[in-house]
Structure 1
Amino acid sequence: MLKLTGHDRQWAEDVVQETLIKAWRNAGKLDRQPEMLRAWLFTVARRIVIDGWRSRSARPQEVEELESDSIGVPDESEKTLAAMIVYEALRNLSPEQREAVQQTYLRDRTVNEVAATLGVPPGTVKSRIHHAVRALRRALQERG
């Protein structure tokens, strides 16, 4: 899914969620054979991505007209502050959770690849990621 969305993880997650919602709404109509259900899910997801690409390209990107007297200097303070907050939130995770998050999100590895690297079952990696994401979400919400 990441390849279809141009490696935009957030968009890929949105596509998966929308696909599952459509599956839920059409549950009574779907063929329950695994290969048929899988094909239906992939088709729906692909169409959602295509629609997304079309809507993004149909509307021209808006740009502000700059005054000729002023030239903006990029202010990196927001990025720096955000990075510091995320770094602090990551430090508060257990070493196992931090490693699972780094391997999957930062190095873009699959759960099975991470499980093989760490020598633990895939379910353990999934559990670590789940609890780590919840802890990160709480920590970031507390910090605003």
Structure 2
Amino acid sequence: MADEAFVRSLFAEHGRAMLGYAYQLTRDRAAAEDIVQEALVRAWRHADDLGSDGKGSVRGWLLTVVRNLFHDQVRARSRRAPETFEAPPDVATERDHADQVVASMVVIDALARLSSEHRAALELTYLHGYGIAEAAEVLGVPPGTVKSRVFHGLRALRDLHAADETMKERSVV
């Protein structure tokens, strides 16, 4: 029962960060949840090792396990024959993933154009799934500063996007 309480406390404290990181890696909510579940099983198996000696970060260990599980899945997929799937004629197929790639490239470019403070706050909160308090701890600033950086960073991204759209319209005309 103590092990169950330990795993529950790990999930309560680190679950959001683990799920956010796993989702960033997989881009699939179900796959990310499976990875987090497996990482927690491994934490349960190593409960005696985690937190007993005070060495290292439990969150760091958990996120490393998440990353390793993701890479294990990628390696396993690359060794299997590719799965083929043909949708029945009455089922709408997913949009071409090229749109997602282009959108990702646009966001990455826009993030690179932000100040390092705004970018770090946005990456921690949106890409890694950290809460404001967690991001503040990582960045070493007060929570209000993180909120402000996220607000101003999002506004700067919106302004960059609007400026890019205006430039595209002018170049077309």
- Provide the TM-score with structure 2 as the length reference: 0.40
- Provide the TM-score with structure 1 as the length reference: 0.48
Which structure: greater helix fraction? Answer: 2
Compare relative contact order (CA 8 Å, sep 6+) and give the higher one, 1 or 2. Answer: 2
